[in-house]
Structure formats: C-alpha cells, structure tokens
Amino acid sequence: MAIVDTSRRLQTRVILQDVESYEGFKAVNDYTARRSEATPEALQTNLATMQAKQQKETEMLALAKAAADEARQAEWEFHNSVIAMKESVRGLFGPDSHEAQAIGYKKKSERKRPRRRAA
C-alpha cells in the first residue's frame, strides 16, 4: 500500500468530490458498514467537523490578515514620525551638530568632498 502524506493539504477538487460522494451516498438504501469510520453517523460527524474546522481556519486567516495590516500601518506611522523627527532635529540644530549625529546623520563637516579626476 502506498504511503500517504497526511501533512499536506488535500486539493479542493478532492474535497469537493468527497462531499459530492457523501451527498450521493444519502440515496443509497440498505447500507451496512463493515468499518466503524464508514458508518453514516461517522461520515456525518466527520463532515460537520471538517466544515467547522474550515470555518474556524477562514476566520483565523481573516484575523491574521487584519493583524498584519494593522502592524504594517503601525510600522509606516512609526517610520514617518521618525523621518519627521530627524528633519526637525536637523532643522533646529543644523546639519553639522552633535544632535544630528546622535540620531543617525553624518555631520556635514565629516563628509568627504568629491575630488576631481585627472584626465
């Protein structure tokens, strides 16, 4: 018997075929299951469980997307406020100040001037 990898998700096509088979199974009369997992009650329970878990997954994915959007927005707001603070410090204290150097800028006096190249 082939080894089945249950760590991967089933394709949507396969699940839809399984649901169609279950719906068609309802029309079968005089069915007696020889295996406990194949009883009509087990099938109904497993279908309901699968649908509930899929709904929970969808809700949690929506919450995760919303949380990611909120985090992204907060990151941009923080970034924009830091840029505004840097511009303000540079405007107040000047481009050659210790304060400008403290927030991450290089002092204007420490920059290398461009050199002409000899032809």
pLDDT tens, the chain, 119 aa long: 678 888 899 999 999 999 999 999 988 888 888 999 999 999 999 999 999 999 999 999 999 999 999 999 999 999 999 999 999 999 999 989 999 999 988 888 888 888 888 87
Q: Measure the CA–CA gap between 119 and 117, rounded to whole angstroms.
A: 6
* Helix/strand/coil for 75: helix
**pTM given for the model:** 0.66
DSSP calls for 80-97: HHHHHHHHHHHHHH-TTS
Alpha-helical segments (H) within 9-39: 12-25
Element (H, E) at 38: none
